[in-house]
């Protein structure tokens, strides 16, 4: 039994979840997301009574068979359903920092322009469904409702100049620790 897969996904207030066969649609205050659950996993919405007497809706997922693949895909599908529910209700965000002398960025409409020590400026076009905000010239906040898209966009921006180990210059996640190396000795 999977600990992650056996947990029910709670549906918060303000989120509508509809199931049509294996298709799941979540609609909330931030937008709408959909997901196709794998055929090896069954999905159902159930009503559960809380401790205070009120009832809330939860989504339960179960494997349809005892096959190894069904046992492996079941927790993954549960996590993906939870991601779309959280995405339409709260959203996701990642913070990036630009470190280094002369390294900076600015937002020009839907294009992020980065000066990263190259002979040219790096231009990054913001994907649809993603919102970028600049905190001064060295802080970037990537936000949106799709967790995968937010993470991939942040990784793409970071890939232009990942932090180097000697001086720590480059683009890093705000909570990332860069292991520093000692330079050459004379």
Residue 184 has pLDDT above 90, yes or no: no
pLDDT in tens, 78-97: 999 999 999 999 999 999 99
> Within 13 Å and on the Cβ side, how many CA atoms surround 149?
15
Largest CA distance in the chain: 73
Mean pLDDT value of segment 90-108: 94
What is the rounded average pLDDT for all residues in the chain? 92
pLDDT score at 52 = 75
Residue 169: C-alpha distances to residues 54, 102, 104, 159, 179 (Å): 53, 10, 11, 13, 12
Residue 53 has pLDDT above 90, yes or no: no
For residues 152 and 133, is the Cβ–Cβ distance under 8 A? no
Q: What angle do CA 150, 151, 154 make, to 5 degrees?
A: 85
pTM listed for this prediction: 0.88
Domains identified in the chain and CATH numbers: 9-89 (3.90.930.12), 92-173 (3.90.930.12)
What is the spatial distance between Cα 96 and Cα 125, in angstroms, rounded to a whole number? 16
Residue 107 has pLDDT above 80, yes or no: yes
pLDDT score at 1 = 79
């Amino acid at each position: 039994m999977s600990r992650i897969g056996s947990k029910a996904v709670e549906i918060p207030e303000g989120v509508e979840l509809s199931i049509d066969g294996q298709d799941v649609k979540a609609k909330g205050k931030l937008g709408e997301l959909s997901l196709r659950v794998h055929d090896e996993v069954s999905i159902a919405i159930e009503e559960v009574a809380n401790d205070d007497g009120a009832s809330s809706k939860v989504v339960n997922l179960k494997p349809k068979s005892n096959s190894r693949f069904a046992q492996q895909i079941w927790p993954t599908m549960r996590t993906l359903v939870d991601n779309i529910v959280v995405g339409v209700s709260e959203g996701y965000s990642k913070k990036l920092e630009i470190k280094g002398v002369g390294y900076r960025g600015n937002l020009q409409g839907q294009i992020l322009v980065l000066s990263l020590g190259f002979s040219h400026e790096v231009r990054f076009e913001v994907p649809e469904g993603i919102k970028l905000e600049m905190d001064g010239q060295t802080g970037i906040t990537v936000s949106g409702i799709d967790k995968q898209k937010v993470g991939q966009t942040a990784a793409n921006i970071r890939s232009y100049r990942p932090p180097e180990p000697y001086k720590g210059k480059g683009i890093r996640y705000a909570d990332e620790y860069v292991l520093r190396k000692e330079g050459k000795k004379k």
